[in-house]
Structure 1
Amino acid sequence: MPDIRYEQPYHWWGLRTTEPVPLSVVELVDAGTFDTESIALLWFLLQKPASILVAALPHEAGKTTTLTALLDFLPARAKKYYLRGSDEDFSFATAEAKDPHDTYLLVNEFSGSWPPYMWGSQIARLFALLPQGYLLAGSIHCDSVEEVIETLSSAPNHAQGAGLRSIDIVVILHHENNSTHKVHRCASISLLLPGVGSQDIRVRELVSWDPATDRFTHDHDEDSVLAEMSQWCGIAPSVVRRDLAVRHAFLARLQSSGVTDYFKVRKAIAHFSDRPSNTRS
C-alpha cells in the first residue's frame, strides 16, 4: 500500500454511502444517551491519554457516532492514524522517526463482515504493537466488557498479554428500536485495570444505567472507586474531583447556552484544552 496517508479517514462510517453529519457530545447528552457527568468522566479519562473501545451488539447502535464525538476529547498533542482493515500493512510502525507515544490507532470496527474492518490475524498484529506505546480507539459488536475481552482474545483474533491489557476504557451502548419505543443509552462505562480475571484484567465499572428507572448511577463518585481512578492516572483524588467538576460545569454551560453543533462544540473543547491553567496540576 504505497503512499498511505494515515491521517485521512478510511471508510470511517462503514457501509454508509454518504457520510452523516456527526453528533457532538452535547447532542449525545440531549438525546439521553449519556448524562453530562458521564461525558465529563470520559473526557477526564481520555486526557491521560487512554485507549477506548465503544461496543454494542446490534448494528446501527451508534458506536461510530459515539466514538467520533469522543475523539474530540483526545489530548491536543495526539496524532490520529486511521487503519485500513484487512488491507492494513502496519507500515506506520516501521517508518523512521515515528514515535508511537500519543499516536492513536483508529479502527472503525473490529469485525470480519467487510474488508475495511479489522479481524483475525490483523487484530493479533495490532494488539502486539500496543505495548510499544500506541493507543487504540475503535468499536466492536459486543454487549458486555467480558464479551469484548473474550472476542478479541479467542480465535481467530488471538489478542493476548500486554496488548490486550492496553485497553483502558470500554463503553457499552444499549439500543432498542421497535414499534412501541426507541431507547439508546450508555449501558456502562468501565475502566480495565490489572488484576485477577480473564487475561489478568479486572473490570471496574464507573457508570451504569438502570433501564427500570432510566437513570445513570455514578460509582466513580464513591471514595473507594475514586481512589482506584487516582492510582490509575497518577493524580491525587482531590485533583481528580476538581478536574471532573470543572469539566462537568463546562459541558453544562455549553448545553444550557444552546451550543450543540458538532463543530462549535469541537471548537469549544479545543479552546478549553488550550487554556494555560491546568486543573491537573
Structure 2
Amino acid sequence: MCRLSPGAIENVHLEGKHSMFDPRDPYERYYWHYESRRPLSMAQIIALGSVDAKTAALIWLLLENGSSLTVAGPTDPQPGVGKTTTLNALLQFLPEGTSLAYMAGMYENFAFTNIPDIAPKTTYALCNEVSDHLPIYMWGRVARRYLTLPAKGYHIATSVHADTIDDVMRMYQRTLRVGPEDTRRLGLVVNIGLVGRLYPPRRRWFSTHFIQPNVNPDKPEAVEPLPLSLWNQVDDTFLYADQAILDDLANWIGISSQQFATEVTRRTEFLEEISQGSGLDQEEMFEAVAQFREQQP
C-alpha cells in the first residue's frame, strides 16, 4: 500500500489493500512523520550554517540524475535533529516530473509496483524512516524489500538512526541483510547531528557520502562509500572530495569531468545567492529552482 504524488507536488489517491494514509492531508503527513513542525528550504538550511552551498550543489546534481538518498541522524534520540526537515528540503532537487510513492511503514504491500502506468525510472519511494521504533516505520523484511526497490529501477529516499556512515552500512548490510549489489544502488547518505551546548542547538551535516555503484574487482563483496563532504569541527567548514572521486561521479552521471565541475559551480553560485540573509522559504525556492532549470544551457 502506498500513495503516489506526481511531480513531487500534487497528491493523487491510489487504491490499495489498506487506506489508512492519504498524503494529500497535511495532518496525516504530519502524523505519519512525513512533515516536520518547522519545515525549511535548502536555502534556509544553508543560511543557518548547517551545510554549505557546495555540498548542497553536489547533492542536487546527483539527485537530479536519479540518486537514491538516506538521511541519517543520531542513535541517541535527540528531538529536533532535523532528519525529516532535511529529507523534505532535498526533495526539491529531484528531477522534474518525479513521482513520490509514500510508504505506509510496516503496513506497506508495495502494490504500486504492479500498477502499469507508474514508471520506475521517474518514481521515488519515500519512507519516513527505516527503524523498529514504530509501526509507521519500516523494519525487517518490509524494509529489506523497500531497500531493494532500486534493483527494479525505482529510487528511494528515507531516513535512519545512525551516527556515522559505518553505522548506516552496518544497519543495511548486517542487520537488515541487504546484499552488496543492492546496497551499491542506495546512492547518497547524509549524516547530520547537533553540535555545541548552546540553545537553540546548532545543526551540522557531519558527512555526505555516495555509495560506489561499481564493483571493486579486488574486493568484489566490498561496499565502498565515497566521501563527498566532511564537516571540519575545528573551523566549522566543509572538506570536499578529491578529483578522482569527482571524476567517478561525472562518469556515473554520464558527463565529462569539466561539465560536472561547471554544473556544480552553477548550482553553488545559485544556492549562495538565494541563501543570503535568512534564505528563500520553501515556496520561493521552488519557484527559484524552476527558473534556474529554465535557464539551463
2:123 aligned with 1:103: yes
- In the alignment, is residue 226 of structure 1 matched against residue 252 of structure 2? no
Change (3 A) 1:117 1:170: same
2:210 corresponds in structure 1 to 191
Whether 1:131 aligns to 2:151 is: yes
Amino acid at match of 2:206: A
Are 1:28 and 2:45 an aligned pair?
A: yes
| Ranges in structure 1 where 5+ consecutive residues have no aligned partner | none
1:214 and 2:236 matched: yes
Aligned residues of 1:123 and 1:159 also touching (Cα < 8 A) = no
Amino acid at match of 1:188: S
Structure 1 residue 76 displacement after superposition = 0.5
Match of 1:205 in 2: 227
Q: Is 1:167 paired with 2:186?
A: yes
* SS of residue in 1 equivalent to 2:193: strand
Give the TM-score, by structure 2 length. Answer: 0.83
CA distance in 2, matches of 1:256, 1:189: 23
In structure 2, relative to structure 1, the CA distance for the partners of 1:181 and 1:20 (3 Å cut) is closer
Label 1:195 to 1:7 Cα distance change in 2 as closer, same or farther (>3 A): farther
Once structures 1 and 2 are overlaid, which stretch shifts more, 263-272 or 23-32? 263-272
The superposition leaves residues 86-143 of structure 1 with CA deviations (integer Å, 9 ceiling, x where unpaired) of 1101100112332211210001111111111111110121123321100010100001
So what's the TM-score if we normalise by structure 1?
0.88
How many equivalent pairs are there?
274
Compare 58-67 and 240-249 and name the one that shifted more: 58-67
Identity across aligned pairs (percent)? 26
- 1:88 maps to 108
Deviates most, 95-104 or 108-117: 95-104
Give the Cα separation in 1 of the matches to 2:122 and 2:31: 25
Q: 1:73 to 1:7 in 2, by over 3 A?
A: farther
Gaps of 5+ in 2: 2-13
Is 2:35–2:84's contact at 8 Å kept on the other side of the alignment? no
Aligned to 2:55: 38
Q: Which residue of 2 aligns with 1:8?
A: 23
Question: For residues 116 and 223 of structure 1, do their structure 2 counterparts lie closer, same or farther at Cα, with a shift above 3 Å needed?
Answer: same
Q: Give the letter for the 2:231 counterpart.
A: W
